[in-house]
Amino acid sequence: MIQSIDSGNPNIDQIALTFDDGPHSEHTLNLLAVLNQHGVKATFFLLGENINGHESIVKQIVQEGHLIANHSKSHPDLLKCDDHTVLEQLTYTNTVIENITGKAPAYFRPPYGETDDRVNNLAGSLGLTPIMWSLDTNDWKGLGVDAIEKELMKATPGSIILCHDGVPASNQTIEAVNIAIPKLQQQGLNFVTLSELLVGGGQTEYPSADSPINIPHSSIPPIAQPVPGQKYAVQPEDDLSKIAEKSYGDGNEQSWRKIYEANINIIGSDPSIIKIGMVLDIP
């Protein structure tokens, strides 16, 4: 059973700022500037549908030493989704992140914080560890800079702090973070990524822009190569013929129709239309 994680070690003076719902063309860039100014690292839980058109921001997040994680494709309540939809939501975002950064994320945060054993186990099957939080700033409500700063100042060793960089009120969050960071640092707290927090220190999840990207095999979801008897997430440039060729070594009509017929309820009436991230059964 996969358990959600909501905090780090309370005996180590480290805390993790986390930001949900980005990337955002304005807020995320402004936030990165603030974090860079203070020399701190954070974790960004990205929505897959927000990544399109903002690929350069995703690259910048990684290049500046921050950690990228999965917040689903379109922010649904996963408790209300069937297994296939949960996998599709998470696999889509894993795929687009890996295509941009060269590495699949290791963590995911369920939208609205709504999860259970079923959702956690499905995420675990994709190599994702569910992350919650121990300190919620409620910044998405737009309560003002002072109110958000007040919540940030409640951080203690091991805190995972929930903020947002992809909502209308995120400008308030950025200003509050700018004020709170030096105050928390003066209290002896160090800002680290989730990966650092959860191992009690160490390397960031992603290498610097000048370093070769090393992808541990165990961290990558089993989506890159279709295998008969397993599930496969549709990749960019895929069509049923290409998937059949990768699966069986033959992309002829008989082969791709075998896949289509096994997934007709997912694909629909037109076998020529399949979407990136769609999870197919390979018979």
Residue positions annotated with a catalytic role: 20, 164
- Tokens encoding 169: 């009120």
Cβ-contact 234, 259 below 8 angstroms? no
**CA–CA separation, 221 and 104 (whole Å):** 7
The candidate with the shortest Cα–Cα distance to 232, out of 280, 197, 184, is 280
Phi, psi of 261 (to 5 degrees): -65, -30
**CA–CA separation, 157 and 11 (whole Å):** 7
- How far is Cα of residue 153 from the mean position of the Cα atoms in its chain? 26
The secondary structure of 32-52 as a DSSP string is: HHHHHHHT---EEEE-HHHHT
Phi, psi of 281 (to 5 degrees): -85, 130
**CA–CA separation, 94 and 5 (whole Å):** 19
**CA–CA separation, 247 and 237 (whole Å):** 15
Cβ-contact 35, 210 below 8 angstroms? no
The secondary structure of 157-197 as a DSSP string is: TTBEEEEESSSTTHHHHHHHHHHHHHHHHHTT-EE--HHHH
The candidate with the shortest Cα–Cα distance to 101, out of 246, 211, 237, is 211
